């Protein structure tokens, strides 16, 4: 069969919401991908004119979006390079089809598990460099995994990684949630959050290129451990625990979102690599490392700062107290910290402010501002400097009473589950005209949750 000049060499094979087939055009081989999730409507007796126009507009919007993605990718891709975007597209029957040049000499998806560390680091560097170029176009790949990272040898015989399969890619500043997707094993917490909230556009506010950093961190962990995902611990009571009891699989992104811990394995012997990965899979995307920092650390074998935090632990590594923020000009009072049973302190950005997350031996944790640290005598100003006035950046959340909304009257707050993850108060709240709930930390900072998310996370229970 020949379609649009491409001679199919095999039958179409199903793959999630698309189908693929190998084809030849001229002297080159291509992989064709036919999108089956969004089709152009076919007018028949059962379809009204208005419905036809609505479905056609949806199809045209999808095609235009895909073409914009491909054009932007092509602007940073070079022939034979490590970004392999579609090179052609067309409409076949009532579907959108993309053609990508076939990559010869591809290694099996699990081949990297037997590479030496030096070989793996080279693959990691080439992939990160390619992804930096993709992100320069504000494009999120959104489905980084073994199957979408092609490993091959270049002309010099060096093993390199190539980015392929951009069918779930999206612009971080122009997100159409119905097109966003990924593979559960590698999804970042913020992408899981979008799925929990049924792809509601307002739930996409946390999505950015940092989602790819998390996915790549999970993939790199697998590379360096022979195929193992980070282990999960400290799973709070609630839906995840019930799923474990039923023998269901729990994925890293959803565990991290629900405030469990991910463990970087002791199998990763090089400290600089374990610290890179730990910084890549932090729950909060604002605290997650940038790809530029990842690439610099890989090139220079730099051991990046990392202190065990509420979302990630490096197994086999001692915990300790990180240095305070230089801008704060303070010294930690280690004797007081230890006398109060604190074992670790981490510098964090919390709602845009430089703060500290402290951990006690019992496993409890709290977030403190600079002013909190000084008032509690956990730190002191250098040189006898007076404590500056400190204000928390305002959060655009309207707080209400400590009760549920009328439409949710069958539910009540589960204060045991709420306090177990470090919140001290729960209130109904409104953010951007959306009704939901705010959970409040000890420093007074609220975090907004929609109703469905409160249920899934176990913060609401039926009366």
pLDDT value for 388: 44
What does 19-66 look like in DSSP terms, one character per residue?
EEEEEEETTEEEEEEEE-SS------TT--HHHHHHHHHHHHHHHHHH
Digits of tens for pLDDT over the chain (463 positions)? Answer: 999 999 999 999 986 689 999 999 999 999 999 999 899 999 888 899 999 999 999 999 999 999 999 999 999 999 889 999 999 999 999 999 999 999 988 999 889 999 999 999 999 999 999 999 999 999 999 999 999 999 999 888 899 999 999 999 999 999 999 889 999 999 999 999 999 888 888 888 889 999 999 999 999 999 999 999 999 988 887 888 888 889 899 999 999 998 889 999 999 999 899 999 999 999 999 889 999 999 999 999 988 887 656 789 888 776 578 889 888 899 999 888 988 888 778 787 777 778 887 877 665 778 888 888 888 889 998 876 554 433 333 447 888 899 999 999 999 999 888 877 778 889 999 987 888 999 987 777 788 888 888 887 788 999 8
- Whole-number Cα distances in Å, 321 to 48, 254, 324, 347, 356: 67, 28, 9, 9, 10
Within the chain, all domains assigned CATH 3.30.200.20 are found at 2-101
User: Two tokens at 454?
Assistant: 């409160």
| CA gap 290, 244 in Å, rounded | 33
Q: 292: part of which helix (H) or strand (E)?
A: helix 291-300
Q: Output the pLDDT for position 389.
A: 38
CATH class for the domain made up of 2-101: alpha beta
Contact 34, 14 (CB under 8 A): no
CATH architecture of 111-305: Orthogonal Bundle (1.10)
Dist CA 204 CA 176 (whole Å): 9
pLDDT at 154: 84
The reported pTM is 0.73
> Of 425, 430, 421, whose CA–CA distance to 448 is shortest?
430
CA distance 238 to 417: 8
Q: Give CA–CA dist 278/305, Å, rounded.
A: 10
Phi, psi of 330 (to 5 degrees): -125, 165
């Amino acid at each position: 069969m020949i379609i649009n000049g491409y001679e199919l060499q095999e039958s179409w094979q199903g793959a999630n919401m698309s189908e693929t087939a190998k084809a030849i055009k001229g002297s080159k081989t291509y992989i064709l991908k036919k999108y089956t999730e969004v089709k152009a409507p076919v007018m028949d007796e059962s379809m009204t004119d208005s419905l036809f126009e609505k479905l056609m507009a949806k199809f045209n919007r999808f095609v235009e979006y895909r073409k914009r993605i491909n054009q932007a990718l092509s602007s940073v891709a070079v022939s034979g390079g490590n970004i392999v975007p579609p090179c052609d597209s067309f409409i076949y029957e009532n579907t959108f089809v993309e053609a990508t040049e076939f990559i010869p000499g591809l290694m099996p998806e699990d081949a990297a598990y037997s590479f030496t560390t030096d070989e793996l680091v080279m693959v990691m560097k080439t992939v990160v460099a390619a992804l930096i170029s993709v992100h320069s176009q504000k494009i999120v790949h959104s489905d980084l995994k073994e199957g979408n990272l092609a490993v091959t040898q270049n002309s010099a015989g060096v093993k390199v990684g190539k980015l392929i399969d951009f069918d779930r890619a999206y612009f971080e500043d122009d997100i159409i949630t119905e097109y966003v997707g990924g593979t559960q094993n590698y999804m970042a917490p913020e992408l899981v959050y979008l799925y929990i909230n049924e792809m509601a556009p307002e739930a996409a506010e946390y999505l950015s290129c940092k989602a790819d950093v998390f996915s790549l961190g999970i993939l790199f962990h697998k590379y360096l451990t022979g195929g193992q995902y980070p282990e999960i611990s400290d799973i709070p009571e609630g839906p995840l625990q019930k799923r474990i009891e039923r023998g269901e699989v729990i994925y890293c992104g959803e565990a991290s979102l629900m405030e469990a811990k991910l463990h970087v394995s002791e199998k990763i012997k090089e400290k600089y690599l374990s610290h890179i990965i730990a910084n890549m899979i932090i729950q909060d995307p604002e605290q997650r490392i940038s790809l530029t920092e990842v690439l610099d650390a890989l090139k220079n074998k730099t051991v990046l700062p990392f202190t065990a935090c509420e979302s990630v632990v490096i197994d086999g590594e001692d915990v300790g107290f990180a240095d305070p923020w230089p801008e704060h000009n303070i010294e930690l009072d280690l004797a007081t910290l230890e006398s109060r049973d604190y074992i670790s302190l981490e510098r964090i950005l919390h709602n845009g402010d430089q703060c500290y997350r402290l951990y006690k031996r019992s496993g409890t944790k709290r977030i403190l501002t600079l002013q909190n640290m000084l008032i509690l005598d956990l730190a002191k100003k250098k040189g006898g400097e007076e404590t500056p006035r400190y204000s928390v950046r305002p959060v655009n959340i309207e707080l209400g009473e400590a009760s549920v909304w009328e439409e949710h009257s069958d539910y009540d707050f589960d204060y045991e589950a709420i306090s177990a993850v470090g919140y001290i108060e729960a209130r109904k709240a409104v953010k951007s005209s959306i009704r939901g709930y705010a959970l409040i930390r000890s420093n007074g900072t609220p975090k907004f949750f929609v109703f469905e998310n409160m249920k899934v996370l176990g913060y609401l229970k039926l009366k």
